[in-house]
């Protein structure tokens, strides 16, 4: 039987190291944000005889003319041809530190100058679509995600308090099962974010976008699910192994972890195999979501087994457990008078 409780301090040390490292890294390094997380524009043009490479050159030169305080305000631009159509699209990423009113004027200036330059080499060029995304969109996504996280954690904490209410006294419930889930959620999401941000600093193609936020919320669900599976097995074993079995809380937790270990590992391996296949063969648009999920799978599997369950022991090792004892029914109990 795997003795996780005996080596729990080692597992705690690993988690503390990863958590502190993640916090320091996220405070120092800049996030590699995708276009939907910053101020950007996308403009589409129709044409008759326009060369895409020539358009890229023109747009690149136009980018250098959009200045504020003698500094370029466009971080980067991308020009690509729309397949099967005589259309090109120009995407420009702007410095989001500029005020919205001034930034909007700069975006319009860039759009007009680019159109004028393109018309000079092909008089048939015409603007067909213009999309202007503000930085406030990212703020909205971020605030919505935080609110969703808060509501989710509160409901899960209340559920655990109700589900395990027969085991511990009221304070034990609040300070153990619910608190541990909140702690492990914070741990799993933070470390997964750190792994992803660390990767994106070496592989610029992996950016932070709305799919990344979706992946974090998905990690929350899987992390809660995996932790509750272990906790539910502990609850079941507390029902089965009463005081008559002479088993203490430590033995019950170790036994429960051993019984769920194979299930957790096999489930996580299956998820990772599918995610790796998607990462390799599926469209590029969701690869950031997939990579975040891979990191999250590794972290929540580790934390549910080696962090959450040992914490449950440390939170309650000095509390007298009121174990469930099944009442033996006799023939007299079934008699109707």
**H, E, C per residue of 33-90:** ECHHHCCEEEEEEECCCCCHHHHHHHHHHHHCCCEECCEECEEEEEEEEECCCCEEEE
Distance CA 313, CA 88 (A): 61
> How many Cβ atoms from other residues are within 10 Å of residue 300's Cβ?
30
Q: Please give the backbone phi and psi of residue 131, each rounded to the nearest 5 degrees, phi first.
A: -120, 125
Indicate the Cα dihedral angle 266, 268, 2, 243, nearest 10°: -90
Structural class in CATH, domain 39-134: alpha beta
pLDDT value for 335: 44
Residue extent(s) of CATH 1.20.1640.10 domains in the chain: 8-33+137-316
- Alpha helical stretches, state H, the chain: 8-28, 52-63, 100-121, 136-163, 170-173, 179-202, 210-240, 249-281, 287-303, 309-316, 331-334
Distance CA 67, CA 154 (A): 47
pLDDT value for 320: 59
CATH (residue range 8-33+137-316): 1.20.1640.10
pLDDT value for 13: 94
pLDDT value for 299: 93
Longest dimension (CA), the chain: 103
Residue extent(s) of CATH 3.30.70.600 domains in the chain: 39-134
Rounded (5°) CA angle 52-53-57: 115
pLDDT value for 15: 93
pLDDT value for 19: 93
Whether 79 and 56 have beta carbons less than 8 Å apart is answered as: yes
Residue 129 pairs in a beta bridge with: 44
Per-residue pLDDT for the chain (337 aa), expressed as one digit of tens each?
Answer: 678 888 999 999 999 999 999 999 888 877 777 766 666 788 889 988 888 888 888 888 888 888 888 888 887 788 888 878 888 888 887 776 677 778 788 888 888 898 888 888 888 888 888 887 766 666 777 777 778 777 877 787 777 767 666 555 545 555 577 788 888 888 998 999 888 888 887 877 777 777 888 888 888 888 888 888 888 888 788 777 655 556 777 888 888 899 888 888 898 899 899 999 888 887 666 777 888 899 999 998 999 889 998 998 888 776 655 544 444 545 554 444 3
Whether 198 and 26 have beta carbons less than 8 Å apart is answered as: no
Q: Per the confidence metrics, is the pTM higher than 0.85?
A: no
pLDDT value for 208: 79
């Amino acid at each position: 039987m795997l003795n996780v409780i005996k080596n729990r301090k080692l597992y705690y040390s690993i988690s503390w190291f990863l958590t502190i490292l993640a916090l320091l890294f996220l405070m120092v390094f800049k996030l590699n944000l995708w276009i939907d997380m910053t101020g950007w524009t996308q403009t589409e043009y129709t044409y008759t005889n326009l060369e895409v490479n020539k358009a890229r050159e023109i747009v690149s030169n136009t980018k250098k003319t959009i200045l504020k305080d003698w500094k370029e305000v466009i971080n980067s631009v991308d020009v690509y041809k729309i397949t099967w159509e005589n259309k090109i699209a120009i995407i420009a990423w702007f410095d989001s530190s500029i005020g919205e009113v001034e930034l909007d004027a700069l975006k319009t200036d860039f759009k007009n100058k680019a159109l004028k330059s393109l018309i000079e080499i092909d008089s048939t060029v015409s603007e067909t679509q213009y999309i202007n995304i503000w930085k406030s969109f990212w703020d909205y996504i971020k605030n919505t995600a935080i609110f969703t996280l808060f509501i989710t954690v509160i409901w899960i904490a209340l559920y655990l308090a109700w589900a395990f209410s027969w085991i511990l006294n009221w304070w034990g419930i609040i300070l153990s099962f619910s608190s541990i889930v909140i702690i492990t959620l914070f741990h799993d999401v933070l470390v997964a974010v750190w792994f992803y941000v660390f990767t994106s600093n070496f592989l610029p193609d992996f950016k932070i976008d709305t799919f990344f936020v979706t992946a974090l919320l998905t990690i929350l669900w899987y992390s809660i699910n995996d932790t509750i599976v272990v906790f539910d097995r502990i609850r079941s074993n507390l029902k089965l192994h009463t005081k008559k079995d002479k088993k203490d809380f430590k033995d019950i937790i170790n036994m429960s972890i051993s019984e769920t270990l194979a299930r957790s590992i096999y489930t996580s391996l299956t998820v990772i195999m599918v995610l790796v296949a998607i990462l390799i063969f599926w469209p590029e648009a969701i690869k950031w979501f997939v990579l975040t999920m891979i990191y999250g799978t590794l972290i929540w599997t580790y934390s549910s087994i080696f962090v959450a369950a040992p914490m449950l022991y440390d939170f309650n090792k000095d509390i007298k457990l009121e174990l469930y004892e099944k009442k033996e029914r006799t023939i007299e109990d079934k008699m109707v008078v």
